[in-house]
Structure 1
Amino acid sequence: MENLEDKTKKQLLKEIDQLKVKITELEKSNSEVKRTEEALRESEEKYKAMYEETPLSYQSLDINGNFLDVNPKWLNTLGYSSKEVIGKWFGDFLHPDYVEHFRKNFPEFKKRGYVNDVQFYIRKKNGEHIYISFEGCIGYTPAGEFKQTYCVFKDITKEHEFEKQLKESEAKFKTLVTNSEEIVYVIAKDGTFLLSEGKGLAKLGVEPGQVVGASVFDLYKEYPEMLDEMRRTFNGETITSEAKIGDIYFRNWYTPQKNEEGEIIGLLGLSVNTTEQKLAEEEIKKSNSLLSSIIDSPGNLIMFALDTDYKYLSFNKAHAKEMKAIYGADIEVGKLIFSFMPNEKDISKAKINYKRVLKGERFSEIQEYGDAHSRFWYELIFNPIIDTSLNITGFTVFVTNITDRKKSEIEIQRFSRIFEDSLNEIFLFDAETLNFTQVNSAAQKNLGYTMEELQKMTPLDIKPEFKIESFAELVEPLRKGEQDKIVFETVHQRKDQSLYDVEVHLQLLHFENQSLFTAIILDITTRKQSEEELKVKSEFLESLIQQSPLPTFVIDDKGILLVVNEAFMKLYAVPDKDLILGLNALSDPTNIKHGVD
């Protein structure tokens, strides 16, 4: 019994000693916890002082996403008071479209432990919304449990709007160039195509974007003049020119492309298919030369005829007057034309054209004559004279003095070089209001308006020939989708009230939430003047033929009758000229009689 009691006491003393050790360990552990808690408290106080003064908006959320704390910058940014925020759910302050975004991302945030550039659309107290971007992390307890979030955000509304506008602008530009009937391209300074778009590429057998990455110097090595113009553009010139690729005529505009430092890095190009206009102009010139080859022209139209030895067969008073003014010569029929021309350069130039026409070629060109002190420019039309045996016995030359026009063109070219020529005018305007939304620099410069002024205007403000009703009627086929493009001619009125002839290529483009008209403008003043001159001359010469009391007719180089007058019809007793037009009068003159019978 005594031994049992001694043993129990010993065990009790041992257990008491063990208990003392555990108590000591617990006291030591509690001391460490207190020190940790004190360090955390001091850290939080320092952190709180720091975020109170930070220039960024700070917020802290609990495990459910409710506000624990925000700093003054947060309150100032959104306009709330602390009482209106603390304890509220963060999602209640978001735009409805972003609430689900928060529900999905907050658990991921807690799981991952941090966030970077997470964006929300948050409501300010005044009802406005701003875009914000968050950076932050999770705070944990000493036991490693979730405690709260620590996040800051910055206002990115301006950046977001800029990015949105940039995307819209890129979309509009892409829609514009891909739907354009013309060809739009960008070429790097080493000749590499960076962009090639437009429906006009189909005429060349090329798909949009097909040549991107290829070299223009390889693809168009057979067109050295065009490549030379591009090289000049790489050196800073703005070029407007014409080119023929295969059977297609183009009018080209090249302008340098520069980077932010002003260095030329390539060129921007626009090519318009002018084949129809070219063919029409050539047909008018050919018709005019056929009629004028047998008629002496009065007025300021100069005419002379030479035989195969370059001696005068005839000339009108205007030509005699012009030769007197240029060379001081009194010309005579039967005399060699070169005997009146002391300038060897002028003689050499004339012989080149005379030899061409004596080979049977009909053509027209612009030439320059005179010396350094007195220069004259002429537009010449050359036609061979063919006898009844189809032999060429000489040729006629019809000349128009265009010195004043050329001097004006030279002055215009000088002006263009000084103020730097650019691509043709391009306008974008709203399909509903008709207000201009975008106008390129070439149009601004030509019209004399600033972009701010033009954005308050419509096409009716620069097109005096149109009223709202007539313009609405014009664009109706585009609105209904009956036509993809409308091409028409009119005049534009600049800010200074001056007018100029234009050809307008108009299309209706549809974007995501907006429809815009796009108008590409070609200045056709010179072409209109030329067409009008050719038309007047043609009608005048046709009138002279019909009014002539002598039987008069016109045949082509194969002897086919093209034109006859009333006197001719009476001579052959022809009741209707359609009975003989198209007959060969040279191979068998009886054809005329047979045609009547």
Structure 2
Amino acid sequence: MANLKKKSRTELEKYIRELETELRQTPNALSNTNPMHSEGAFLKEFPIIDKPVLVVEDDEGLSTLIEKTLEKAGQQVTRVKTGAEAIEKVEPDPNFLLLLDYGLPDMTGAQLIQKLEENQQTIPFIMMTGSGNERTAVQMMKLGARDYLIKDSDLLEVLPEAIHRVMRELSTEAKLTQLQEALRETRQHLYSVINATPIILWSLDKDGLITLSEGRTLEQLDLQPGQLVGQSVFDVYATDPEALESIRRGLEGEEFSIDVEVGGCIWNSHYIPIFDEQNKVVGLIGISIDTTERKQTIEALRQSEEKYRYLIENTNDLVYAADAEGTMTYIGPQATLYGFTPEEVISKNILEFIAPQDHDRIIEEFTRTMQTGMVFNSQFRLVDKGGNAFWVEDHANTIYDEFGNIAGISGTLRDITERKQAEEALLDSQEKLQTMFDTISDAINLTDMQGNIIDVNLASLATFGFGSKEEIIGHHASEFIAKEDQTKLLKHIEQTLKQGYGDTKEYRIVPHTGEQFDAEVNASVLRDGSGEPVAFMSVTRDVTERKQARQSLENKVEELERYKNVTIDRELKMIELKGIIKDLEDKLQKSGVGE
């Protein structure tokens, strides 16, 4: 601020007006991007600074009179007697204007100011002295005194005006500092925007002298920022009559745009005349943009649109768009598949083409999408012109207006009637399989890979002593195998995993309720689509009756065997007896007894 203190109030205010004028002349082409654009942010009348006055005076009587005089003038006043007290007072809060006596009990006014500067505190002050001289005055003014007052009979009379004058100076300096900072930020922001944007920004004075030449794309012309500043545009473009004609038009006050080819690129240049308060042209601002890439982009976009249009026209999916009220704003040519022309659909509400039984659900889902911006995914029945219903799958995203508000949705409708029919057939098939599953007399258990039961059929509930599926699900399958069969169970599981199925094994079953019984168990592994095992399925058959029947049969066989043995013994004895009788008969015949 030292350079500001050397200026008179009139000079400062003149300087401020010049800064304000320079700020107002900041190029309008970029002002909307400038955070300091609003003049109200810094050009409005700056309020006069009203600092509290700290009176540093050891004369109690004079100090009291000064306090009363300044308070009467509306100033807030604090009094201290020594330099040390003043330092202590301003240390936590330096927001004071010092009214400083040069000769204090503990130090001079100059020493006090020097101590404050050593403490990195710069506080405005007015020096008072009762015995000062010109040398003292010069010394204090060099230290930054705002005024130098003599303690005479006029002191109390001139003091309020002196205080007010200093406050105005401080206000003017603060405004100047603010304006300088605003101008610096404006320039810095302007150059940041220019250097970050693929443009060339240039300006001329009224005589055609180049005053600004900036922009990232200057390098495309083998130029550096600022390289042409100070040169005459009429010399630079002396061999380009088209460019000179455009410059003359701009300097004559015409604002216009024109495309020119320079350096192998197409440039769009906009010429903006600058007028003074008398509406005379004082300069020209130009913005040149390389439109070569933009033209290429437009061409690429055109090709992309053609490709997109081709895809829309040649896909079986129905592309559509609707506004936030559900009114159709676009429909693809596939509408003819449902008997409608696009003209018959556009401007009508989408509900007119949806089966009535789906209306409530679609309204709820559509409203939620309009409120939250969520993706709209749904399935519903679309009704064709003949009244036939077709299942469709809708995938849509929200679209937004230029203000960021949800304006509607755009998506595709895919006919999934065949898929729905297949799903219904599959569901019917699943119901039949479930019926078969539940009516099989053997107990069927599904367990996860850790052996926890995840599903059973009805026969399993009776077999293992449970009343419902909820009761048995979650139990470990090994809970129902007798302790003596646990080792066999582990080997059985290992075999099943290895082979994909296991041999039929007999186990002693321990049900949740009821008596133990014998059963045959066979198991297999269920796998997912990638071949990874995901579950075990086991079939348990109670073999108690079969074992009892077998035992009964074995008993009967044994009994028959015993009977057979008895019969054979009797037959053998009869044969033996018959042999003896025959021998006797033979002997009798030989002896003649028979005769």
| TM-score when normalising by structure 1 | 0.37
Structure with bigger RCO (C-alpha 8 Å, 6+ apart)? 1
Larger Rg: 2
| TM-score when normalising by structure 2 | 0.37
Greater fraction strand: 1
